[in-house]
């Protein structure tokens, strides 16, 4: 039976560490600040934004919300980004996705100052992650590494399989595991013998967005299984990309959904905001 990795408890510890860093910065006269931009009225986006504001409040980060109507033009949005880039009291800028149809998400990300890009989506930050000389990491992959570290799962020399190749999770996840000396395979919709490849993994990260896609027969006994998915099953119940009840019988470690990777994403965002405040004030990170 697998050891359940408690993402809520680990995320709370990360937020606690970030709060201590915020207090130390405030004592130096530096107040870390985050601007969150939400366009339109997507209900899921509203929940995420509220959770981010709540986390800021909890650790002592100053936050500003810019709620724009769905009719906002590309020019108006880029103008706001430009204004936030210049704001001295804002260290991090986060534009909640998805954006309404007609807005160019890529152009928006590329207009954020890379030092304020606390999502680490800007091409400059993506390039730095590629060469291993990064200041920020994308929040979800960074959260996965933190979960493994704090659960005592060693990455070095292990066979690591990432299922999913998105720019937000799959690709950076593979790079972070590689930087930690894992031997990494990325699987996707064209991968042949997928189950066979997954069964070789000592560390299996599922990020495909398909409910209960990873089944028991795809998992090596004793493997660490990290479920990045956030899906709904046939009964509308929240679940992940892993068939949790079946896989926990064979895995060595497993993250639940909810309560696994999810809480880590916002905790790592807070860590990135603190990091941004340090960089912009010439302090060591």
Domains belonging to the chain, first-starting first, are: 28-113 (3.40.50.10860), 139-263 (3.40.50.720)
pLDDT at 234: 87
For the beta sheet containing 159-163, the strands, ordered from the edge strand earlier in sequence to the opposite edge, are 3-4, 253-254, 224-227, 203-206, 159-163, 183-187
Residue of 113, 117, 119, 227 marked catalytic: 119
Q: What percent of the chain has pLDDT over 70?
A: 100
> What's the predicted TM-score (pTM) here?
0.95
Q: Is 96 one of the annotated active-site residues of the chain? A: yes
Q: Is 52 one of the annotated active-site residues of the chain? A: yes
pLDDT digit string (tens) for 126-154?
999 999 999 889 999 999 999 999 999 99
Average pLDDT over residues 266-274: 97
Residue of 52, 116, 158, 220 marked catalytic: 52
Name the average pLDDT for the chain: 97
Q: Which of 159, 156, 139, 271 is nearest to 205 (CA)?
A: 159
Note if the bond before 265 is cis, omega within 30 degrees: no
Q: Is 237 one of the annotated active-site residues of the chain? A: no
- Identify the residue with better confidence: 216 or 44: 216
C-alpha 213 chain-centroid distance: 21
- 24 vs 263: CA distance, rounded Å: 24
Contact 91, 277 (CB under 8 A): yes
Contact 87, 47 (CB under 8 A): no
Could you give the C-alpha distances from 76 to 68, 71, 72, 266, in angstroms and in order?
10, 10, 6, 27
pLDDT at 233: 87
pLDDT at 115: 97
pLDDT at 210: 96
Looking at residue 100, the DSSP 8-state letter turns out to be P
DSSP, collapsed to helix, strand or coil, labels residue 125 as helix
Neighbours of 258 (CB within 10 A): 14
Q: What percent of the chain has pLDDT over 90?
A: 96
Residue 239 confidence (pLDDT) above 90: yes
Collect all residues with Cβ–Cβ distance below 8 Å to 198 and sequence separation of at least 6: 161, 163, 187, 204, 214, 218, 219, 220
Split at pLDDT 50, 70, 90, the class of 258 is very high
pLDDT at 44: 87
Average pLDDT over residues 212-219: 98
Torsion angle in degrees (nearest 10) through CA of 278, 282, 284, 285: 30
């Amino acid at each position: 039976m697998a050891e359940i990795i408690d993402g809520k408890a680990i995320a709370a510890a990360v937020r606690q560490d970030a709060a201590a860093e915020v207090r130390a910065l405030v004592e130096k006269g530096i107040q870390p600040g985050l601007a969150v931009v939400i366009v339109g009225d997507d209900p899921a986006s509203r929940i995420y934004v509220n959770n981010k504001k709540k986390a800021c409040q909890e650790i002592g980060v100053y936050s500003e919300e810019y709620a724009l109507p769905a009719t906002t033009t590309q020019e108006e949005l880029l103008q706001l980004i430009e204004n936030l880039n210049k704001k001295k009291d804002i260290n991090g800028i986060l534009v909640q996705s998805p954006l309404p149809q007609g807005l160019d998400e890529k152009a928006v990300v590329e207009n954020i100052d890379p030092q304020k890009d606390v999502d680490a989506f800007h091409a400059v930050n993506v390039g730095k992650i590629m060469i291993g000389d990064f200041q920020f990491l994308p929040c979800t992959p960074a959260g996965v590494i933190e979960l493994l570290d704090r659960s005592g799962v060693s990455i070095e020399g292990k066979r690591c399989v990432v299922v999913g190749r998105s720019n937000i999770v799959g690709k950076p996840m593979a790079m972070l595991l590689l930087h930690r000396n894992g031997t990494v395979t990325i699987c996707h919709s064209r991968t042949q013998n997928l189950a066979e490849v997954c069964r070789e993994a000592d560390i299996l990260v599922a990020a495909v967005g398909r409910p209960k896609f990873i089944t028991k027969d795809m998992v090596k006994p004793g493997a660490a299984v990290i479920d990045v998915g956030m899906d709904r099953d046939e009964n509308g119940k929240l679940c992940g990309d892993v068939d949790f009840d079946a896989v926990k019988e064979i895995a060595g470690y497993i993250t639940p959904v909810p309560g696994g990777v999810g809480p880590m994403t916002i905790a790592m965002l807070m860590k990135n905001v603190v990091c941004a405040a340090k960089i912009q004030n010439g302090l060591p990170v």
